[in-house]
């Protein structure tokens, strides 16, 4: 499930907004499934870049903003804009909000990382013959 971390002030106390809500930072973990609720990745620049996107997680009823790594943000951008892979295969752009994404594990330079990919449906589409028995 998504990792939820409370945002703290410099003094080590929970950060509370003007409307008396505590702030949390959400990051993806292996096995998380989600549907982006926007086509745009939010980029905020301070001393470094922060990436986030609103998503609807599998099993949740409300949207949350997920903090993305630069690699995760790039993966979503490539899916949205279309790209040509290393083998020369052209991938058409997709609408992020119309697809389910799943998080998977991989290693990069000896570190465990979480990647984002499209969830592939392994069941064949139903035909009219499938509904005759129902």
The better pLDDT of the pair 134, 104 is held by 104
Residue 34: Cβ-neighbour burial (10 angstroms; 0-12, 13-18, 19+):
buried
d(CA 45, CA 59): 32
pLDDT tens, position by position, 44-84: 888 888 899 999 988 888 888 899 999 999 999 999 999 99
d(CA 62, CA 7): 20
């Amino acid at each position: 499930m998504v990792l939820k971390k409370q945002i703290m002030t410099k003094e080590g106390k929970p950060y509370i907004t003007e409307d008396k809500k505590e702030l949390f930072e959400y990051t993806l973990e292996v096995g998380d499934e989600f549907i982006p609720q926007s086509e745009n990745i939010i980029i905020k620049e301070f001393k470094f870049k922060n990436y986030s996107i609103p998503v609807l997680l599998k099993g949740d009823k409300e949207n949350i903003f997920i903090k993305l790594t630069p690699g995760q943000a790039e993966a979503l951008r490539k899916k949205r804009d279309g790209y040509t892979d290393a083998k020369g295969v052209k991938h058409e752009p997709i609408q992020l909000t119309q697809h389910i994404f799943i998080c998977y594990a991989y290693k990069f330079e000896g570190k465990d990382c979480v990647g984002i990919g499209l969830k592939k449906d392994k069941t064949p589409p139903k035909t009219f013959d499938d509904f005759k028995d129902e």
